[in-house]
Amino acid sequence: MYNNEEEVGRAIRDSKIPREDIFVITKIYSTQYDNPEEAIDMALKKLGV
């Protein structure tokens, strides 16, 4: 909905905070309920984590 995964991922990397110290969450939308694994994989790819 916000289409900001790339920016959030970049901010995580640029922050220099160790990745294991950051808990990342995202949403899947009702249109993605049929294939949540694909939705999650797409979000993680966009986030770069």
Residues 28, 8, 19, 49: is their CA dihedral positive or negative? positive
Give the orientation angle of helix 5-14 with respect to helix 36-47, to 10 degrees.
50
Identify whether 2 is a catalytic site residue: yes
Measured in whole angstroms, the distance separating CA 49 from the mean position of its chain's CA atoms is 7
Q: Which of 2, 23, 29, 33 is catalytic?
A: 2
Give me the active site residues, please: 2
